[in-house]
Structure 1
């Protein structure tokens, strides 16, 4: 017997009338009546963000700098990428719960003024990743023009290639959330297939004798490798997860977001990182190449140049438009009095300048790349720890208070700062830096913490210590100094 009771209507993935239209919402929380979508949107979001060729150099570092063999690198790739994106999925629960971007929700934890520090670091992180994406994509486009038309790299052509990639990014990021969600799903099919074809040909170039007879790396090398992969993948996106979950209905179970995020990022990253390790085990040139696009291109037959370079360009574009979208929201959260679309425009102009520097002035790609990851992984991890601990103990977000940055607001705390959160964040950063060495090469060391050559430091676990210290200290301070009723705090500030 079929029940005649009305069945609840399932939410649409992306409302058709919003695709192609400019998103007018900024950082203000999304009301329940405008929520839509399903948890699997997070799968497509993070799959699209991670099918770029930057996964190959990450795999190369595991073999060249951590002395791991291919099988160890594959295990490290799975733990580091899927594990770190499970964390991204967990933090995206805050977006579903509060309906606002991650760094706007962070005001509830750090205070409206105390949140400025973590938000500024987040914006630097986004701009840095965008610059790396833009630089790599421009190299891919230059190589594509050389393969198709015989045009060789020069300064004007380099600038044009940068502008083409920036223009594509601006178009997609400017339109906003609904268009990004729609493009992520369908473009993933196209560029995913192209990447699989390219990967198949790259596997055929592997020197299997060297791969099968390579030595086994140490456990410490594997532990450090997990840190490198986590810092280069999920940790870099952890402060953006809520940006893409804020339109999801509250009733979606948080566990589904965790699984969808871990699987969406883990599948392409494990394949790409493992392939990078496989290629480097047979030929170490990929790990030291100034231009990774050209290094991979050289491994392929000539007729594969066009499909490979299109796949490289498209994968980087899918990652970059997500980063630019989040950077625009972060810039507005910082206090820039501009619409989201204007903030996106400011961001891409800065990215263009960074791309010009990397391609026409700087002499190295990997030096700045690894230095960038090392430096920013510490403060971002400290923020993740404090924000995540606050979320786990049951934080609920007040939509009106998130947008109220005036003295006396609910999230004003003491002088606009929640000192328990800011203090735990700052201590975590200091501890992490004590275990960190910042360098672009063995001879060019920028900073070396006093414990950077200890087992924890040399294993690349400064970020893990940062996480534990920040989370534990925040929870301890909350217990020692309980948060008073919000009404009492407001009355005290008003008085």
Structure 2
């Protein structure tokens, strides 16, 4: 093995604790291709959060299936383009996103953004743990509070453990996880398809309809935009010579494809049983209208899918903590942020 390959393997390899913190990644240790960003970001969006977000448009906002899909697609793509543009700061600087902002706000000026990003990352980590635990509880008929609490602890522990290993481990698990979850979702979608009311129109009208469209657009935009402070954290290992166009468009594809497809699923689920969807959520619709041999694997991978999203949350939280001047190793800050969440 060459010296360069040896250094790369030591610093960023699957199953090894990543040794780099917030310092710029040296040119000799850069590796990968922009297309890898598509799979990484797909892993962040191939989960229940994407499906649930879109379901809000038909459950509560008053949109129909197809105008809801238009709002979902427009909001997602608009936000994903900005995410892709921000990803270019990674190959250019080799730095995490929050460290790059020091060039604009200064060393101490970046602390406010770092604190807000830490709050965002830890908050999403906590939310994803709860979503995953609730889905896990569905496997046991709803479960008790203690069971849900135990699942939260288990899910948090797994999420933090992977985030401690770092970039390459996260990237590999996100890639394979996205493919598996997509396959299970497709199977459930095909089974439920005959029950969908594909042509359901909007219930909102007049000014309320225009407001519903804007709200639907902004809801989907906001879901994607919440990842902006994370953008270059996962592109900083790419070579500086990486194509700007590729670094921009591959994240767009990775976000838009799963978000739009899962969005369609989420928009259609409430059309099966609107009352159940509004009172108990779309997970209850899935439980009530699909056999256990389809629903159970899907609920299992809802749990796993939220864990995949948690990898990114905890990893970035650890980097942001370092950027705030905490003198610890990256894996230690990731562990600490996981406990905080």
In the alignment, the residues of structure 1 paired with residue 61 and residue 131 of structure 2 have an alpha-carbon distance, to the nearest angstrom, of: 24
Aligned to 1:176: 166
Query: Residue 287 of structure 1: CA displacement?
Result: 5.4
1:166 aligns with 2:161: no
Unpaired segments ≥5 residues, structure 1: 1-10, 352-495
Aligned to 2:70: 75
1:222 aligns with 2:213: yes
Query: Residue 100 of structure 1: CA displacement?
Result: 0.8
- Higher radius of gyration, 1 or 2: 1
Counterpart of 1:342 (choices 320, 325, 332) is 332
1:133 aligns with 2:94: no
Query: Residue 283 of structure 1: CA displacement?
Result: 3.1
Change (3 A) 1:15 1:39: farther
Q: Identify the structure with the greater helix proportion.
A: 2
Aligned to 1:239: 229
Query: Aligned with 1:18: secondary structure?
Result: coil
TM superposition score normalised by structure 2? 0.90
Change (3 A) 1:291 1:74: closer
Aligned to 2:321: 331
**Is the contact between residue 203 and residue 275 of structure 1 (CA under 8 Å) also seen in structure 2?**
no
1:296 aligns with 2:291: no
- Aligned pair count reads 331
Aligned to 2:27: 32
In the alignment, the residues of structure 1 paired with residue 46 and residue 16 of structure 2 have an alpha-carbon distance, to the nearest angstrom, of: 26
Unpaired segments ≥5 residues, structure 2: none
Aligned to 2:247: 257
In the alignment, the residues of structure 2 paired with residue 178 and residue 296 of structure 1 have an alpha-carbon distance, to the nearest angstrom, of: 34
**Is the contact between residue 38 and residue 255 of structure 2 (CA under 8 Å) also seen in structure 1?**
yes
Counterpart of 1:157 (choices 118, 137, 147) is 147
Change (3 A) 1:155 1:343: same
Question: Superposition RMSD on alpha carbons, in Å?
Answer: 2.2
Aligned to 1:124: 119
In the alignment, the residues of structure 1 paired with residue 46 and residue 276 of structure 2 have an alpha-carbon distance, to the nearest angstrom, of: 18
In the alignment, the residues of structure 2 paired with residue 216 and residue 290 of structure 1 have an alpha-carbon distance, to the nearest angstrom, of: 22
TM superposition score normalised by structure 1? 0.63
1:3-402 equivalences in 2 (<5 Å):
18-144=13-139, 146=140, 153-208=143-198, 211-212=199-200, 214-215=202-203, 218-232=209-223, 234-285=224-275, 288-289=278-279, 292-351=282-341
In the alignment, the residues of structure 1 paired with residue 101 and residue 184 of structure 2 have an alpha-carbon distance, to the nearest angstrom, of: 38
Query: Residue 182 of structure 1: CA displacement?
Result: 1.4
Larger mean Cα displacement after TM superposition, 153-162 or 186-195: 153-162
Change (3 A) 1:154 1:281: closer
Higher relative contact order (CA 8 A, sep 6+): 2
**Is the contact between residue 69 and residue 281 of structure 1 (CA under 8 Å) also seen in structure 2?**
no
Query: Aligned with 1:68: secondary structure?
Result: coil
**Is the contact between residue 207 and residue 283 of structure 1 (CA under 8 Å) also seen in structure 2?**
no
**Is the contact between residue 273 and residue 285 of structure 2 (CA under 8 Å) also seen in structure 1?**
no
Aligned to 1:415: none
